[in-house]
Amino acid sequence: MKPSHTNARSLLRQLASERILVLDGAMGSLLASRGVNVSGPAWSARALLEAPEAVAAVHREYAEAGATVHTVNSFRATEAALSDWKKVGGPTIDV
């Protein structure tokens, strides 16, 4: 079942009416500063495959800093980006 953007907006409005929401921050720049390869059209997928512990650490640190809304590390993990990545020889996995 595809998630509904309307339902997501409604949920965020409800949560925001109950408390202050703090969004997490940058992922790519933090991963790059830690030596994770964030090059290529599907850099977020590459990070998930090659450095899942670094991705988890960044999410954990944002939670410890007080973030109450967390985004997923899927910025460039779109069908188009993954197709481009495959064209340039990026690794593929079966899911």
Query: 36 and 54 in contact (C-beta within 8 Å)?
Result: yes
Please give the residue that has the higher pLDDT: either 66 or 87: 66
Residues of the chain above pLDDT 70, percent:
74
DSSP string for 42-79: THHHHHHHH-HHHHHHHHHHHHHTT--B---S-TT-SH
CA atoms within 13 A on the CB side of 74: 6
Query: 27 and 73 in contact (C-beta within 8 Å)?
Result: yes
pTM above 0.75, yes or no: no
pLDDT at 23: 80
